[in-house]
Amino acid sequence: MQFMLLFSRQGKLRLQKWYVPLSDKEKKKITRELVQTVLARKPKMCSFLEWRDLKIVYKRYASLYFCCAIEDQDNELITLEIIHRYVELLDKYFGSVCELDIIFNFEKAYFILDEFLLGGEVQETSKKNVLKAIEQADLLQE
């Protein structure tokens, strides 16, 4: 996976994770273009599209779009389930997650993502193990 973006229906970026080195300028340009492209698509359309030389896999959950860019040989369907598993993790951690949770606790959203995906690859698919790691960290805090 090359990057993952979370953005709202209004096009506000809520989370960005880049697994390839790009300049800030390029990142902004890519984000702008992609948000526009994905928001323009209709609900029943397919979740995959070709974009530049990448494949985009996206899915909408309530007011948030989750959007991943993968390479040509990568598997679209499993990427769709990567998104779903991440949503499940957020949901479990925050207890029925909503956009506000991600806005106000953005750092947690990043920490959870890092436990789940690292360097653009799945690190741990077990929901229990990921949440255990995060909760242990929460316990360590004070």
Partner 1 sequence: MPAVSKGDGMRGLAVFISDIRNCKSKEAEIKRINKELANIRSKFKGDKALDGYSKKKYVCKLLFIFLLGHDIDFGHMEAVNLLSSNRYTEKQIGYLFISVLVNSNSELIRLINNAIKNDLASRNPTFMGLALHCIANVGSREMAEAFAGEIPKILVAGDTMDSVKQSAALCLLRLYRTSPDFVPMGDWTSRVVHLLNDQHLGVVTAATSLITTLAQKNPEEFKTSVSLAVSRLSRIVTSASTDLQDYTYYFVPAPWLSVKLLRLLQCYPPPEDAAVRGRLTECLETILNKAQEPPKSKKVQHSNAKNAVLFEAISLIIHHDSEPNLLVRACNQLGQFLQHRETNLRYLALESMCTLASSEFSHEAVKTHIETVINALKTERDVSVRQRAVDLLYAMCDRSNAQQIVAEMLNYLETADYSIREEIVLKVAILAEKYAVDYTWYVDTILNLIRIAGDYVSEEVWYRVIQIVINRDDVQGYAAKTVFEALQAPACHENLVKVGGYILGEFGNLIAGDPRSSPLIQFNLLHSKFHLCSVPTRALLLSTYIKFVNLFPEIKTTIQDVLRSDSQLKNADVELQQRAVEYLRLSTIASTDILATVLEEMPPFPERESSILAKLKKKKGPGTVTDLEEIKKERNSDVNGGTESTPVNASTVALPDSPLQGSLAELVIGPRPRPSRLNSSHLAIHNLQTGIPPLFKGFFTSKSTPSPSADLLGLGAAPLTSSAPPPSTTGSLLVDVFSDSASVVAPLAPGSEDNFARFVCKNNGVLFENQLLQIGLKSEFRQNLGRMFIFYGNKTSTQFLNFTPTLICSDELQSSLNLQTKPVDPTVDGGAQVQQVVNIECISDFMEAPILNIQFRYGGTFQNISVKLPITLNKFFQPTEMASQDFFQRWKQLSNPQQEMQNIFKAKHPMDTEITKAKIIGFGSALLEEVDPNPANFVGAGIIHTKTTQIGCLLRLEPNLQAQMYRLTLRTSKETVSQRLCELLSEQF
Amino acid at 111: F
Give yes or no for residue 138 binding partner 1 (CB under 8 A). Answer: yes
Q: Binders of partner 1 among 90-119, rule CB under 8 A?
A: 93-95, 98, 100-101, 103-108, 110-111, 114, 118-119
Sole residue written with tokens 């499993």: 78
Give yes or no for residue 40 binding partner 1 (CB under 8 A). Answer: no
Amino acid at 109: A
**Which candidate, 7, 30, 4, places its Cα nearest to that of 121?**
4
Structure tokens at 103: 């806005």
Q: Using CB under 8 A as the criterion, which residues of the chain lie in contact with partner 1 when the complex forms?
A: 13, 15-16, 19, 21, 24, 28, 42, 44-50, 53, 73, 75-78, 80-82, 84-85, 93-95, 98, 100-101, 103-108, 110-111, 114, 118-129, 133, 136-138, 140-142
